Structures are given as C-alpha cells and as structure tokens.
Structure 1
Amino acid sequence: MPYDAPSDLASLSLLEIAEAVEQRRLPPVEQWNPAETADSHMRIAADGTWFHEGRPIARKAMVRAFASLLTRDGDGRYWLVTPQCRQSIEVEDAAFIATDMQVKDGALAFRLNIDELVLAGPDHPLRAAGTPDTPAIYLSVRRGCEARLDRSTWLQLAEHALAGEGDDPAVTSQGARFSLLPA
C-alpha cells in the first residue's frame, strides 16, 4: 500500500490533524522482546539525515520504515527493534526533526522530517534545553524518542510565545503549559 504524506500542515484543521495522527499505525515494538542483539551500522545525524555504513539513506520510505521501529531505552540508547533482533543505532542529537508548526484551536501541531504529525500536549510534551543564548526545544514523539525543532520551527514557536500574555516565554497546547526557557 503506498504511503500518502499528510497535506500541508497550515491547510489542515485540528480535527484533520488528530485524524492523521490516529491513522498512523506503528509496529507493536513494545510487545517484542527479541533475544538477538546486533549493531545496525546506522546513524542519525543532528540534521536528521539517516546513514547506513556511512552513506545517507536517500529513500524517504526506507527512513519512515526504520523510524517506525525506533525506540530509546531507559539508559538513553537507541534501538531498531524487530521480532527477531534488536539493533543499536547511533543518534547524534534527536531521532527526528520538527520542520513546521501550526497553532490550531489551542493545540500546537508539528510536522516531522518523516512526514508524521504530532500534537504537543500531556502525552507529547515540549522540553527546553541548551542555554538562554543557544536554546534548543525538543518534542516528545514516542518510545522515548524526541524531535528537535529546526531553526524556522523554533522561531515559529517563539513568535507564538511572544504573542501570548505574560513575561514568561511559555506556550500552552492541549491544556499543558511548557516553558521555553532551559532549566
């Protein structure tokens, strides 16, 4: 079955975004406990580019397929998990990149570099890291993996926060409030 990327984020309503999120079916990685462990010889660069044995993976469909198997354990290690094998994967910064953001009916909707949509909120919190001079904002995606907001998406979020009320640079999405100041 061919993959249909969601429409342009700005053209979607909150209901359409929520439906697209709900329709995304992921493998049940949490249910698999493979006995075999190996090295995938893969790396996700800080800019979101996926590599295998030093060469970029050019096919977006392959990246989306691998991303659906990605998990992060309690020790911070990343794994590609199948029913037969758990393979380590190096992640330089974050597993995903948030490339666009829209404000829709009290929710912040993000598009990832793998064409997934994520609604920030209690189940997908935003986290501020870095320093006040070089801040970084991360969005919880799934299974311990996060997306780092790229520069333009970070600026969209900052403009939204500055348009709000109060002196504290913070945003609210689906009833959850997130400070944009690094802790």
Structure 2
Amino acid sequence: MDNRPPPPQSLLDSLPESSTGDAREPAPVHLWHPDFSGELDMHIARDGTWYHEGGPISRKSLAQLFSGILRLDEDGRYYLVTPVERWAIRVDDVPFVAVRLEVEGQGREQRLTFFTSLGHSVLAGEMHPITVRVDADTSEPSPYVLLRSNLRALIHRNVFYELADLAVEEQVDGQPRIGVWSDGHFFPIDGSAVTA
C-alpha cells in the first residue's frame, strides 16, 4: 500500500513559511533530507517554462515558489524538496534562463549582472562563473551562468549576443581566448575548451 502523500497540494502544504514569502529567497534545501517521494508530473523546458501535467504553469509566483525549493542532487536529477518530501521532476537542460543583462563599468572593472525570467539576479564573478558548452554534433554554443549552489541559468541567445559585443581577447594558459570580464574575473565565451 502506498502511503505517500499526493502531489502537488501536499508539497505546497509542507512548505515552511519562510519559503512562501519572498519567492526569490531559496529555502535551505541543502539541510533537508527526506525520503524519496516519487516522480512528479512536472518539467522545466529549455526556455525556462515550468509545466505541470502537460500544461504550462501560468502563475509566475507559483513557478517562483517551486524554484525556491529546487535542488540538483549528486545523482544528476532535479528534485523539489521540503522538510518532509522529495519529488523528482524533469528538466530539459537547466532550470533557469537569464533573459536580461545589466553592465556596469568597462574593461577589467566591468560587472555583469544577469536576471532570470523568474526574477532572480546574480553578479557574474568567482562564485557565479560564466561557462559555455559547445554541442559536439552541431557546434552550437550553450552559455550558462551559475545561479546558486549547482543550479545554472542558460543565457538567452539575445543576452549572449550582448556578451559577444563586450568580448575582448585575453591570454588564458598561454592561449588567446575571447571572453568577458566581470567582477575582476575573465570568462572565456568562445567555448573552445568545453564540449558536450
């Protein structure tokens, strides 16, 4: 007999109050280790749209709420985690999409702040690096910025074009690389060192 609580109402009911207020503040999911609750019919498309039971979640506040309890575990799977439940969901690529870029300063003093479609923001730097993965079959680049913990945001194509306009050439390990500066760190965006 299956005694697990039904999703998703149970999932919402078990959220602590601290994670139901400001959706932009993630819950301390790294501290929670509930048993596996099962598979939830929910997935995040590559464009950042959240789907539940085949239909898009139209309320941004609800997607923000779920994003605050999202965790990527060592098994490579994404989970929605509360103190009492851990539901696996499907993510097509990564769970977030950076849709806007703000640039302060220039050259090595430049600071790049990314904003996601769910309202998160992050300053690219040592703790939030920019990486580019190049598809081995299509040679198509996929740029990312680390949002929190091990959760990344795909940098939208239009934002990547903005990065390309800011790009300069620097020597990295004795090799010329094309990239951008942010918060005192240089991030290659030519993708020549990373393939998938």
Fold agreement, TM-score > 0.5? yes
What is residue 145 of structure 1 aligned with on the other side?
151
> Once the two structures are aligned, what percentage of the paired residues are identical?
36
The residue that corresponds to 2:112 in the other structure is: 108
CA distance in 2, matches of 1:40, 1:160: 41
What do the CA deviations read for 1:133-154 (whole angstroms, capped 9, x no partner)?
Answer: 4111011111311110111101
Quote the RMSD (CA, aligned, Å).
2.0
Which range moved further: 63-72 or 142-151? 142-151
What is the rounded CA distance, in whole Å, between the counterparts of 2:126 and 2:38 in structure 1? 34
SS in 1 for 2:125: coil
Deviates more, 1:25-34 or 1:125-134: 125-134
Alpha-carbon offset, residue 31 of structure 1: 1.0
Deviation at 1:181, TM superposition (A): 2.0
Specify every segment of 5 or more residues in structure 1 that has no aligned partner in the other structure, as ranges.
Answer: 5-23
TM-score norm. by structure 1 comes to 0.81
**What stretches of structure 1 move > 4 A for 4+ residues in a row?**
1-4
State the Cα distance separating 1:38 from its structure 2 match: 1.7
SS at 1:168 equivalent = strand
1:177 aligns to what?
186
Letter paired with 1:115: G
Do structure 1's residue 154 and structure 2's residue 160 form an aligned pair?
Answer: yes
Any idea what the Cα deviations from partners look like across 1:107-159, whole Å, max 9, x if unmatched?
11001010111111111111110149411101111131111011110101111
Q: Is the 8 A contact 1:80 1:86 kept in 2?
A: yes
Greater Rg over alpha carbons, structure = 2
Report the counterpart of residue 129 of structure 1 in structure 2: 133
User: Higher relative contact order at CA 8 Å, sep ≥6: structure 1 or structure 2?
Assistant: 1
- Which stretch shifts more, 135-144 or 34-43? 34-43
Task: Report the counterpart of residue 34 of structure 1 in structure 2.
Answer: 34
Equivalent-residue separation in structure 2 for 1:126 and 1:147 (angstroms): 10
Separation in 1 of the partners of 2:160 and 2:144? 10
CA contact (8 A) 2:169 2:179 kept: no
Which residue of structure 1 aligns with residue 79 of structure 2?
79
User: How many residues are treated as equivalent by the alignment?
Assistant: 162
- The unaligned stretches of length 5 or more in structure 2 are 1-19, 171-175
Separation in structure 2 between the aligned mates of residue 62 and residue 112 of structure 1, nearest angstrom: 15
Report the secondary structure of 2:186's partner residue.
strand
